[in-house]
A and B are shown apart, each in its own frame.
Chain A
Amino acid sequence: MRRILLRPIAAALFSLLLFPGAAHAHTSVKGMGDFISGLLHPVVTPSHLLLIVGLGLLAGRKAPPAMKWPMALFIGLSAVALGLTTGWALSVHPVLLHAVSLVVGILLATGRALSLAWICPLFAFAALSMGLDSGVEPTTAGSRGQILFGTWLGLMVLVYDVSLYASLGAKARWVQIAWRIAGAWLVAISLMMLAFALRPPGGVPLP
């Protein structure tokens, strides 16, 4: 019974993940090289940055060695996802990106201890959704390669850095409270973004 229920959910998630269509593609920023432009992409894309900070804070609850599998998943799957944006021109539906942020925010706000069985799928979905959302507009192969490589490094370094610094203060009471408040903020922003993404085309008439 549980499997029957899980299959359509998995299929729906998969279809949202491999959503063919216009990616929120990025081009080189004027005055910057392709590599730097890619490296900064996760920083200048607010929806990615929010999710990265959320993931980092979540990971920071555990000691860095305990996070080797989620980090390995993140590194591997973000590379796969970035690769998919070039060969198959796949993108990700924005709903999925915000839904992952929402789940991360809820887990942070509730402050419950999490097992790797929770953290690994979250890191996997986050890596796939951010990677697929970082496609590059058509350009030369060399330029595209540099941008995507920069983006991949940027994603990795940011998640690792935030999680490492978060783990340093993980035991302080006020830090734990600050993370829960940050989680509540992430929930609030993600909920609003989900509403914007699900709003009918043309919006709804205001009262």
Chain B
Amino acid sequence: MNSVRHRRLVSLVVLFLVFLPAAAFAHEETGGLGGLLSGFKHPLTGLDHMAAMVAVGLWGAFLGSRAMWTLPVVFPMVMALGGAAGVLGLPLPAVETGIALSGVILGLLVAVAAKPPLWVAAIIVGLFGFFHGHAHGTELPKSANALAYAIGFVVSTGLLHLAGIAFGLLARWPWGQAAVRAGGGAIAAVGFGFLFGLW
């Protein structure tokens, strides 16, 4: 019995490591490959983006099987709406505050083990996704290939969600629940840091 649990735990840790995105290194960021790398790196180079996107997966896994895939479906779609608004130059006030708040709120929701109805969770995640997307859209490097950039940042975002889901699945065990809630607390702390300019 213990051996099965041990194997499951090892599998989860391996899964987490496999889906843990790492920054890619490129010499130039022009053309298709440059755009792809540039887009892929964008969510990974800001701890505020990374923390919130991991939190989405973490919360989804914590909420249950339906939320586990619904939230990572909602987030990129609304994020792209925000990205489109950013590309088109539509103003959005307090973007950085919204991004920092996303880490705080999502982290706290995981930390206090909040389990609202799925539609409420989807609205919260979608709202913050819009802020993240707006930042992606306005910060697009001029040299980047637009399509490759879009593919890169959507895939990178998805991998961050998967990393969060893999960690969140630990909540199936009592000790794992504590670890996941602590992870939520850490994400909220990162968000607070950005909110008050400590990072």
Binding site for B on A (CB under 8 A): 46-47, 50, 109, 177, 180-181, 183-185, 187-196, 198-199, 203-207
Contacts and interface: CB of A to CB of B under 8 A. Distances in A.
Contacts of B77: 109, 184, 187-188, 191
A196 B87 contact: yes
Contacts of B148: 46
B107 interface: no
B10 interface: no
A187 B89 contact: no
B80 interface: yes
Contacts of A177: 69
A193 to B, nearest CB: 6
Interface of B: 32, 69, 72-74, 76-77, 79-81, 83-85, 87-89, 91, 137-139, 142, 146-148, 150-151, 154-155, 158
Given A46-B148, A109-B77, A181-B158, A192 B137 contact: yes
Contact of B73 (A47, A184, A193, A207): A184
30 contacts: A46-B32, A46-B148, A46-B151, A109-B73, A181-B73, A183-B73, A185-B154, A187-B80, A188-B76, A188-B80, A189-B147, A189-B151, A189-B154, A191-B80, A191-B81, A191-B84, A192-B84, A192-B137, A192-B154, A193-B147, A193-B150, A194-B84, A195-B137, A196-B150, A198-B88, A199-B88, A199-B89, A203-B142, A204-B89, A206-B89
